[in-house]
């Protein structure tokens, strides 16, 4: 009986790890640009900085940070989530707002 429970726990853990490696909580977002046309922008991380677009505002995916802490013992889940899915697109950069100021007034 103990071996069945152990195998079930390992299978669930591996399943959660695989699902987290498919992007975790960071989602791609379709954003319409002022020049015309809507494009899908993907999350990026520390190992994929070339995906960042200077016209798009990104935020840290809190869910991926939490999952990285939970699965820190597995090592590869945090590396994937932080390496490729740390920042998620939220919208266009508001050039009228001073740098570092979030939201409205």
| Residue 105 domain-assigned (yes or no) | no
Indicate if the pLDDT at residue 105 is higher than 80. Answer: no
Give me the number of domains the chain comprises. Answer: 1
| Residue 102 domain-assigned (yes or no) | no
Indicate if the pLDDT at residue 39 is higher than 80. Answer: yes
pLDDT in tens, 14-31: 777 676 666 678 888 999
| Residue 101 domain-assigned (yes or no) | no
Indicate if the pLDDT at residue 56 is higher than 50. Answer: yes
Quick one: average pLDDT of 46-50? 90
| Residue 55 domain-assigned (yes or no) | yes
**In the chain, what percentage of residues exceed pLDDT 90?**
26
Instruction: Look up the domain containing 75 and give its range.
Output: 2-92
Ordered alpha helix ranges (H), the chain: 2-21, 62-70, 76-84
Cβ burial of 85 (10 Å; 0-12, 13-18, 19+) is buried
Phi, psi for 40 (deg, rounded to 5): -95, 130
Per-residue pLDDT at 46: 92
């Amino acid at each position: 009986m103990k071996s069945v429970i152990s195998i079930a726990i390992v299978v669930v853990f591996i399943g959660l790890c695989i699902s987290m490696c498919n992007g975790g909580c960071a989602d791609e977002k379709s954003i319409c640009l002022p020049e015309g046309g809507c494009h899908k922008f993907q999350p990026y991380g520390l190992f994929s900085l070339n995906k960042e677009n200077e016209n798009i505002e990104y935020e840290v995916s809190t869910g991926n940070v939490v999952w990285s802490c939970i699965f820190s013992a597995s090592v590869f889940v945090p590396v994937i989530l932080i390496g490729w899915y740390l920042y998620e697109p939220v919208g266009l950069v508001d050039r009228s707002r001073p740098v570092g100021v979030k939201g409205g007034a």
